[in-house]
Structure 1
C-alpha cells in the first residue's frame, strides 16, 4: 500500500466509522420511506404498488451508476468519486422534497439512487485497507450493522412521518449526506485507489473480471441471497399495512424484530467463519434460506397470512442471507484484489439488478404476495445451491487439470 493508505489503515476506528455511514446511507433511503407508503400514495394519488415500484427502480438506478464508478475509481482513486456520489444523492433527495408530481418524484428518486450507487466504493476501500480475516470480519460486521439500520429505519421513518410528513426522511438523508461528505473529505486521501494510475478501458476491465466463472458465481450467489431480503422489504408495506392493516407504528415494530435478526445472523456468521471454509458457509446460508421458504409455504397453507407466518420464516432467511453474503463477498473480491473497484461494481450491479427486478416482479404479481415470496425463497436458494455445486465442480476440474 502507499503511504496515504498506510495512514488511513492505521486510523481504523475512523475508517470503520466512515464505512458505517456509507452503509447507513445505502439502506436508509429504502427502508425509512416504507412507513410513508400510505402518505405518498395519497399525496401523489397513486396506488401503493406504484410507490413500491419506486423502491425497485431505486435499486436498478444504483446498479446503473455502479457500472461506471468501479473502473473509474481504479484509475482515478476513490475519494473524488465518493464525494461526487454523495453530492448527487443529496441533489436527488432534494428533488424528492420539492417534487410536485409522481413522475418528478420518481425521477428524483432515480437521481438519488445514481448517487447512492457510488457507495459501492466502501467494498473497494475494505479491499484496499484491510487484509485477510480482517476483510471478512468487517464485511460480516457491516452486513450485521446494515441489518440493525434496516430494523431502526422504519421506526425512524414512522417518527419522521408523524413529525415532518413523508418529506422528513429525505431531509434527514440530506443531513446525513452532508456529514458523510465532510467525513470523507477529511479522512480519505486522493491516493486511496487500489492500483497505480492507468489507462481507463471499461470494456477490458469488465471483460477481465466478468470472464472469471468463480468471480461471477460468487457475486450471483450474493445477488440471489440479497433478492430474498430485498423482495420482502419492498412488499412488506403491501402485506403488513394494506392487507393486515397494521398501523405505521405497528409496521415499524414488526420490521424492528425482523431487522434485529441480522444481529443473530452476524454472530452465527462470525462463529462459522472460524470453523468452516467459505464454501461451506455459503451452502449453510443458502440452506437456511431454503428452509425459510419451505417453512413459509407450510405456515401459509396451514395458518394463512399473519404477522407470525410472514416474519418467523423471514427471520430464518435473514440469518442465512447474512452468512451467505459475507462469505460470497469475500470470495469474489479476493479473485481480483488489484481491481477492487471494478470487482465491487460488477458484483453490486448484479446484486441490485437481480434484487430490483425480482422485487418488482413480486410486487406487481396478481398472485398472493406471501405465497409468491415463499416460492421466491425456495427458487432462489435452489438456484444458489446449484450454482455453488458448479463452483465446486469447476474447482475440482482446475485441480485435475
Structure 2
C-alpha cells in the first residue's frame, strides 16, 4: 500500500467493517473475559471478593474518563493515531496485570487497561464520519452485532482457560489479540475524520454545546440507563452464579453469556430495521424489552422460585433490549451535532460507562454472603425503567417541536 506521497504507510481510506468490529470487540473482551475467574482471583490474592469485584467498577470508571478525553482529541488529531496509541497502552497494562504481585498492583494496571476504550468510541465515531444518522444507526447495529459475539463466547472461554491454566491465561489471550488488532488497524484503518484544526482547549470548550442539547441528554441517558441493567449484571452475576447457584468457573462462563446471545439478536434487529423505523422507535422498544425481562425475573426471584435457568435465561431479554437501544441511542446522540461526532461519541459513552461503573460497584456491595438474586435484580429493574422514561421524554419533546 502507498500514500499520496509515495511512502509505504497504509493508504488513508475508510476501514472495512471487520476492522471496526474487531476494534469494538477487543474493548468488550477486556471487560468481561476474566469475570468467571473473579472468585478464584480473590482467593489467589487472599482478599475479599468485593475488593476483586472493584476490577470491574474501577475499569468502567476510568473507561468513562477515557471516553470523555478521547473524543475531542480524535476530533483534533484524527481517529487513526489515537486508536493505535490506545492499543499500545492497553498491551503494556495487560502485561502489568499478568505479573502483578498483589491485588492493589493488579487493580492499578486493570484501570490502565481502560485505555482500550478509545477503540470502541472511535469505531462508532468512524461510522458516523462515513454515514448519515439512520444509516449510521444501522451500521453501528451491524458493528455491535459482530462485537456481541465476543461477550457471548469470552466468559465461556475465560472459564475454561481459568480451569486449565489459571486466571493469568485470560490476560495472555488479551495480549495476543491486542497485537493482532494493532496490526490489522495499522494496515486497514485509514483516517475517516476531517481534522478540526482547533486546539485541544478549543475542542473541549465545545462540550457545552452538547450539554445544552436536551436531545443529546435524552439519548445518552436512555442508552446509559438501559445498559445500566447489564452493567449491574456484570458486577453481580459472578457472585450470584457461584454463591447462590453454586456454579464452577467453566459453567458460570457459559451461563454468563446469556445477555450476549440476546445482544446479538437485538443488534441484528437494529441493523435490519433502524433505517426503516427510525432511532426513536427502536430505542423505545429496546427499553421495553429490557425492563420486561428483568421484571419477570425479579417477580420469580421474589416468589422464591428462581434457579440458574430463570436467572440467566431472562438475561437474554436484557441483551435483546440493549442490542436495540444502544446502537440507536448512540446514533441519535452523536448526530445531534454532527461536527462534534467524536466528542459526542466519547461523552455519550462516558455517561453510559460511568453510570455502569457505579451500578456495578453497587451490585457488588449489596451482594453480601447469604444474599439472594433479588437485590441485584431490583437494581437492574430500576435502571431499566429510568431508561424507558428518558426515551419517552425525547419522543415527547420532538413531537412538541413539530407542533
Taking structure 1 as the reference length, the TM-score comes to: 0.91
| Higher mean displacement: 201-210 or 71-80 | 201-210
2:396 aligns with one of 393, 397, 400:
393
Q: Is the 8 A contact 2:226 2:384 kept in 1?
A: yes
How far residue 99 of structure 1 moved from its aligned partner, in angstroms, is: 0.3
Q: Which residue matches 1:98?
A: 99
On the 8 A contact 1:289/1:377 being kept in 2, the answer is no
SS of equivalent to 2:397: helix
Q: Deviations over 1:368-395 (max 9, x none)?
A: 4521232223322221222223223322
SS of 1:8's partner is coil
Q: Secondary structure at the match of 2:373?
A: helix
Selected match of 2:377 from 374, 377, 398: 374
Q: Tell me the distance in 2 between the aligned counterparts of 1:398 and 1:6.
A: 44
**Distance apart, 1:118 and its partner CA:** 4.8
Q: Tell me if the contact between 2:225 and 2:355 (Cα under 8 Å) persists in the aligned partners.
A: yes
In the TM superposition, what whole-angstrom CA distance separates every residue of 1:194-230 from its partner, at most 9, and x where no partner exists? Answer: 4442232244121112221101210111111111112
CA spacing shift, 1:366–1:253, aligned 2, 3 Å: closer
Distance change >3 Å, CA 95–CA 8, structure 1 → 2: same
Question: 1:157-212: CA deviations, max 9, x gaps?
Answer: 123213431111111111111112222222234x5324442232244121112221
Instruction: Tell me if the contact between 1:49 and 1:238 (Cα under 8 Å) persists in the aligned partners.
Output: no
CA displacement at 1:274 relative to structure 2: 5.1
User: Which of the numbers 1, 4, 8 marks the counterpart of 2:13?
Assistant: 8
Q: Does 1:300 align with 2:286?
A: no
In structure 2, the residue matched to 1:216 is 217
Answer with 253-262 or 321-330: which moved more.
Answer: 253-262
Contact 1:194 1:340 (C-alpha < 8 Å) held by counterparts = no
Aligned to 1:193: 193
Distance 1:16 1:347 in 2: 22
Task: State how far apart, in whole Å, the 1-side matches of 2:84 and 2:267 are.
Answer: 30
Q: Distance in 1 between matches of 2:270 and 2:192?
A: 29
Kept in 2, the 8 Å contact 1:61–1:117? The answer is no
| CA deviation after TM superposition for structure 1 residue 240, in Å | 0.6
Equivalent runs, 1:135-284 vs 2, <5 Å: 135-189=136-190, 191-200=191-200, 201-273=202-274, 275-284=276-285
SS of 2:303's partner is helix
Cα distance in 2, alignment partners of residues 117 and 48 from structure 1: 29
Alignment gaps of 5+ in structure 1: none
SS at match of 2:142: helix
Aligned to 1:128: 129
Per the normalisation by structure 2, the TM-score is: 0.91
Q: Any idea what SS the aligned residue of 1:46 has?
A: coil
Q: Deviations over 1:310-343 (max 9, x none)?
A: 1222111211111111211111121122121101
Larger mean CA deviation between 306-315 and 257-266 belongs to: 257-266
Shift, 1:105, TM fit: 0.3
Contact 1:64 1:114 in 2 (8 A): no
Equivalent residues in 2 for 1:41-52 (5 A)? 41-52=42-53
Task: Please say if residues 225 and 383 of structure 2, whose CA atoms lie closer than 8 Å, have aligned partners that are also in contact.
Answer: yes
Q: CA deviation at 1:272?
A: 4.0
Contact kept in structure 2, 1:239 and 1:369, CA below 8 Å: yes
Q: Give the aligned partner of residue 351 of structure 2.
A: 350
Distance 1:118 1:342 in 2: 14
**Separation of aligned partners in 2, 1:342 and 1:249:** 39
Q: In structure 1, what is the equivalent of residue 33 of structure 2?
A: 32
Change (3 A) 1:213 1:86: same
Whole-Å Cα distance in 2 between the matches of residues 134 and 71 of structure 1? Answer: 23
- Structure 1 counterpart SS, 2:318: helix
The Cα shift of 1:27 comes to: 1.1
CA contact (8 A) 2:134 2:331 kept: no
Cα deviation for residue 49 of structure 1 reads 1.9
The change in CA–CA distance for 1:274 and 1:21 in structure 2 (over 3 A counts) is closer
Structure 2, unaligned runs of 5 or more: 5-9
Q: Residue 114 of structure 2 corresponds to which residue in structure 1? A: 113
| In structure 2, C-alpha distance between the alignment counterparts of 1:117 and 1:195, rounded to whole Å | 17
Superposed displacement of residue 100, structure 1: 0.1
